[in-house]
Amino acid sequence: MKNFKKIFYSVLLTTVLVLGGGILGVWLGQDKLIALFVQEVNRHLRTPVRVGRLQVSVVDAFPRVAITLHDVVVLGSLPHDTTALARARRLYCAFDAWDVLAGRYRIRSLTLTDGLVQVRHDAQGQPNYAIFRPDSTQTDAKPLAFALETVQLERVGVIYDNPAHQHRYTLHAHDVRAALTLTDRRIAIQAAGRTRIDAIRVGPDDYFRRKEVTLNTRLQVDRSAHVLTIEPSALNIGKGAYTLAGRIGYGQAVTELDLKLNGQHTDLQSVAALLPARLARRLSQYRSRGDVYFGGTVQSVAGGKSPRIAVQFGCRDVSFYHPQYQESVEHVFVEGSFTNGAARSARTTALTLNKLRGTLRGRPFSGSLRYENLLDPTVRLAIRADLDVAHLLRFFPVAAVRKASGQAQLALQLAGNLRQFRARPASAAGQSAGELTLRGVSIELRDYSQPLHGLSGNFLLRRNDVAVTNFTGRMGRSDFQLSGFFKNALGWLLLPGQPLLVEADVESRVLDLDELLSVKRAPSATVGRQPAGRPGGYALEVPPSLALDLDAHVRQVRFRRFRGRQLRGTVRLRQQVVSTPGLSVAAAGGQATLRGTLDARRPELLKATTSASCSQLALDSLFYVFEDFGQTFITARHLRGTLTASAESDIYFDRALQPLTDRLEAEVKATVRNGELNNFAPLQKLSMVASREQLRHLRFAQLTNSIYIQSRTVYLPEMEIRSNVRTASVLRVTGTHTFDQQMDYHLSIPILPGLLRRPSINGEVATGPTILLAVQGNEDNFRVSVDRSRTQTARRPLPAPGSRPAAEGATAQATPDPAAPVPAAPKKLFEVKKPDKKPAQPQPDQYFDF
């Protein structure tokens, strides 16, 4: 035990003496050591180095002796470049203690902490890191030399910037240790540690953004041949493992590459996270489970400007799912490849997906894709799928669709050149074929509250057209059944601005135009649109790319009060102009036909030019259907009879389908048979010529006249009405009625002889007199009075016996007698003040057929 203590104390004393002697020797020789270090650094470097202070320490790099440089700034080699190549708070240059004691000063390791290294190239491609002199050969005869064994980076940022090649790499080394072997010709580096890659920018895109990387690499740099050799190196990003190996030749004008990259144990989100934001934005929403792999090579060819790139990728039994929608595609297998081709250009680039298969909620799908030539693309696509529409849209949402359901089967093959297809869709889609079958599909669109539901039918694609068979469905209360052709359907679906021509036979049990044209937006519609369900709010939107040629048969058509039956005819649409050579419909107890056009090229000014005719329409039903044409003077409850008429009109509407009455022009030729005018207030005041009971039910066998509408005024030429009133069996009416409800009617009522008699003039008894009346005012405040202007003309005195007639062409004028009394103004027979309006109510025995 005593011997052991003696040995222990001897060793301890020896160690203390050695360490003390070494520390003393270092302290005594630190000035010499610093001077040798500065001298050797200046001999090796050709750029200035600024140092705050230098000190020799045995503690900082124990058990080695270190020269510590504080606040170091190393300038770059580019002339007139003010950006430092490196900045560091501390730089440790470590020596072996035995070398120091032996007088051989060899720098064995470097430690850089809290620094920034910026490697740059100027516009001509010259680097800023050429800071070593070419004659810095290491020999054992020199008092101080570099014999680096390790390099350590702690909290050091690294930036590489090459504007000529549009490359910029930014990373931050947390703790990286490298073993370094440095000779005149070669540099061998073995590095391992933790690094954060902020971004690797190539062109406009950033790759590997904000990724934590565990690095383990071996590099060799042949300084004379300008070749960097990368031995198999591993990068671990998350759970993904990537390997890189190959060589890079950087001495020529064009960088020579021969690299091989592989990825294993990756998934969709880890691969998408390495891509630029514009490429990864949609993929980043999805997750995957299973084996996703890829591998590729990058090779330069002598004399070529671009490297040859070949990548193989795929997945085996992978599930892709969307966390938000809780939908997944399962058991996915695919093999893919990407290459820029033999010419290493966009023209020879090709992307291929083969043997794609999988399931969505147990329903299988399969397909393949080949996309060639980025400058003049050619596509070959094949898809076969049995789909549940609801699950498909939950996995791959479409912005315009809020919700959908139903079943669909799809088989599609497309092949062709996209440029030719864009230029001539009809002829370029010669290799397109497919079939789509819908069964019970319902779709709710985001901008419209009325859903499409019950969609079923078969669509057969041949070239660029689609043949449709028994396509049925409903939209709100309306339904349809369509068979025909969608011409240029493929071009319309895939290319913006392409026209679609629908040639079809359409049948419908119910067509509710009041609902279809109403502006009823869904809650998600744009703020400021018309609120849902506002009474009377309509809109007609005609897409400029849509053309129609329809033969229609509708059993019932509805619009506001209108109820039509058996609507038949042809409807055409070309360049936002709707036209029909003839539509017929049964309504209001009769039949009506229509031909004309609706010009919708200016949505704020729609123009309808029509020629319409009707026969045997019930007058009361007609007034009820058209809501008494917006007036209350004469309404449906006043009228009976049947109407046969023809009309030519130009009608203008605004965007909300409100008529622009100041532009309206129309000519109506009408005949009313077996007519009745019942309980019409102005007639009740003519009791002087007939009883009130007769006037309450004024009947006439036939009335024929032409009516003109222009400048918001209805012009009624003089017409003769033969009524059931014996004392006034013939009435003549003329006048105007404005859209502001201003009336100016003139009536002539001949009275039968014997009922009222005048005194004889020169022994002659005059025939029955004529009462001339005027109805003037508005609907709520009108008056019936003697028609002053016509009465004065009728009362012109007869010429005296024996007097000469006035000369031909002269105007007879009476000389007023100053003594004669001034004639009084024509007496106003009566004035009517209408009571407050009340809605017209049909009588219990009145029935409307509409």
Is the per-residue pLDDT at 524 higher than 50?
Answer: no
The CA radius of gyration of the chain, in Å to the nearest whole number, is 50
49 contacts: CB under 8 Å, gap ≥ 6: 41, 72, 73, 74, 75
pLDDT of residue 386 exceeding 90, the answer is yes
Judged by average pLDDT, the poorest of 4-8, 435-439, 458-462 is 4-8
What pLDDT band is residue 411 in, cutting at 50, 70 and 90?
Answer: very high
Q: Give whichever of 2-16, 424-438, 510-524 has the largest mean pLDDT.
A: 424-438
Per-residue pLDDT tens for 812-833? 333 343 333 333 333 333 333 3
pLDDT attached to residue 568: 94
Which range of 15-19, 125-129, 234-238, 714-718 scores highest in mean pLDDT? It is 714-718
- Both tokens of 307, joined, read 């490297």
Mean pLDDT score, 498-517? 92
d(CA 667, CA 647) in angstroms, rounded, equals: 6
pLDDT digits (tens, 9 = 90+) for 467-485: 999 999 999 899 999 999 9
Question: For residues 67 and 55, what is the distance between their CA atoms, to the nearest angstrom?
Answer: 6
Q: Are 698 and 689 in contact (CB under 8 A)?
A: no
Look at 426-435, 728-737, 792-801 and tell me which has the smallest mean pLDDT: 792-801
Taking the C-alpha atoms of residue 273 and residue 292, their distance in angstroms, rounded to an integer, is: 14
Percent residues over pLDDT 70 in the chain: 74
pLDDT at 763 over 50: no
pLDDT of 11 > 70? The answer is no
Q: How far is CA 253 from CA 204, 302, 365, 590, in A?
A: 22, 11, 50, 90
**Alpha-carbon separation of residue 268 from 90, 234, 236, 291 (angstroms):** 42, 20, 16, 9
pLDDT of residue 222: 85
Cβ-based neighbour number of residue 505 at 10 Å: 12
pLDDT value of position 832 = 34
Sorted by sequence, the CB contacts under 8 Å of residue 651 that are 6+ apart come out as: 607, 608, 609, 610, 659, 664, 666
Residue with tokens 């709707």: 578
pLDDT in tens, 177-200: 888 776 767 778 888 999 988 888
Give the mean pLDDT of 609-615: 92
Among residues of the chain, what percentage have pLDDT more than 90? 21
**Per DSSP, which regions of 692-846 are E strands?**
697-710, 713-722, 730-738, 742-750, 770-778, 781-786, 830-833
For 613-649, letters b (16+ CB in 10 Å) and e give ebeebbbbbbbbbeebeebebbbbbbbbbbbbbbbeb
What number is the average pLDDT over the span 285-314? 79
Per-residue confidence (pLDDT) for residue 382, from 0 to 100: 94
Selected residue with higher pLDDT from 562 and 27 = 562
CA 205 – CA 182 distance, rounded (Å): 36
Query: CA–CA separation, 789 vs 793, rounded Å?
Result: 7
Cα–Cα distances in angstroms (integers) from residue 48 to residues 66, 71, 72, 80, 689, in the given order: 22, 14, 11, 13, 126
Residues 6+ apart with CB under 8 A from 102: none
Mean pLDDT across 13-33: 50
What is the DSSP secondary-structure string of 1-49?
A: -HHHHHHHHHHHHHHHHHHHHHHHHHHHHHHHHHHHHHHHHHHHBSS-E
- DSSP characters over 670-700: EEEEEEEEES-GGGGG-TTTS-HHHHHEEEE
The mean-pLDDT minimum among 82-86, 139-143, 415-419 falls in 139-143
State the chain's mean pLDDT as an integer.
Answer: 77
* pLDDT (0 to 100) of residue 804: 43
Distance (Å, rounded) from C-alpha 550 to C-alpha 510?
17
Under 8 Å CB-to-CB from 259, ≥6 apart: which residues? 230, 244, 245, 246, 247, 248, 297, 298, 299
Rounded to whole angstroms, the Cα distance separating 87 from 611 reads 89
The whole-number average pLDDT for the span 460-468 is: 91
